[in-house]
Amino acid sequence: MRALLLAALLLAAPLLVTPARAQSQGEAQALVDQATLTVQEILGTGPGTEDNRSLLRRARAAMVCPQLFRAGFFFGGEGGGCVLLARDAAGSWSSPAFYGLASGSFGLQFGIQDAQVLMLIFTEKGLTAVLDSQFKFGADLSLALATVGAGVEGSTTAAVGADILAIARTRGLFAGLALEGSLLSARSEWNRAYYGQEVGPRQIVISMQVYNPGADPLRAALIRYGQGVAPGPEPAPAAPPPAQMTPAPGGVQASPLPPIAAPRN
C-alpha cells in the first residue's frame, strides 16, 4: 500500500509543478511587457529624452524596473521587479534576466509613490556588480539619479563619472527616489520558468545562451532608441516566427540570438 501511495505521488508531482511554473512564466512575461512600455515612455518623447537616448547609446547594459512601489509612515519600504539586458560588441541586446529590488528606510515620511526606473550601466565594473546574485546599491559603485520632468538636474550632467545612472519617472507624494542601500537579487525561479531550464544571469546576458521570443519587442525598443532613430509611430507587431523558432512553453532557443532589424528612417 505504501509503495502504491509513493508511486501515485511521483506520478502526480509533474501535474503539481507545471501550473506553478506556468504562472511564474506568465508573470515573467507580464514584467517584460511592462518593461517595454517603460522604455518607450522614458525614451520616447518628452523633456530630456534626446539626452537619455544618447546615454543609452553609451550604455553597456540596461536594467528596467517598470513599477517600484514605495510606501512610508515613519518606516518606509521600496520594491518591485526588474529585468536586465546587456549589449554585445555587435550592438545586439540579450534576452532579459529577472531581478527583484527591495529596500528599507527609517525617517519621518508619509505617502505613497510608484516609479518607472531605467538604469543605464556604463562600466564593466557596474555590470559585474549587478550580475552578482545579490547586490546593494551604494556599496562600491558610483550611482547617479535623474528624474524625468521639469526643474530637475539633467541626466547628462548627472551621468558624469557614474557607473550606473537611474532615470526615474515618479508619481506620488515623495519628492524623489532613493536607491542607495537597495538590495538587488536575482530571481532564479523566474529565469527558470521563462527559459525552461536552470540558467543564471551571466548565461542570459553575457553568454546569451538562451532566448525567448516574448522579449523581442523589448530588445527592439532598446535597439530603436539606442541607434538614435527619431521617435514616430510604433511599428506594427512583427509576424509570429516560424513554428520551429518558437519554443514550447518553458522552452528555450540556443544562441546566437536572432537579429532584430532596426526600423527604417
Task: Tell me the mean pLDDT in the region 37-60.
Answer: 87
Q: How far apart are the C-alpha atoms of 32 and 29, rounded to whole Å?
A: 5
- Dump pLDDT digits (tens) for 1-15: 666 555 555 554 454
User: Rounded to whole angstroms, how far apart are CA atoms 203 and 220?
Assistant: 20
Q: Strands, DSSP E only, in the chain?
A: 61-86, 97-121, 134-136, 143-147, 164-172, 183-186
Residue 130 pLDDT > 70:
yes
Confidence of residue 218 (pLDDT cuts 50, 70, 90): very high
CA-based nearest residue to 100, from 121, 83, 76, 125: 83
pLDDT band at 67 (very low <50, low <70, confident <90, very high): confident
What does the H/E/C string look like for 33-50? HHHHHHHHHHHCCCCCHH
Looking at the chain, the whole-number percentage of residues with pLDDT higher than 90 is: 34
Cell numbers of 197, please?
A: 531550464
What are the φ/ψ torsions at residue 263 (nearest 5 degrees)?
A: -65, 145
| Contact between 145 and 138 (Cβ < 8 Å) | no
pLDDT in tens, 234-253: 444 444 444 444 444 444 44
Burial class (CB in 10 A: 0-12, 13-18, 19+), 177: buried
CB contact at 8 A, 167 and 157:
no
What pLDDT digit, counting tens, does each position of 143-181 carry?
A: 666 665 433 344 555 556 778 888 888 766 555 566 766
> Considering the entire predicted model, what is its pTM?
0.74
Q: How far apart are CA 38 and CA 31, in angstroms?
A: 10
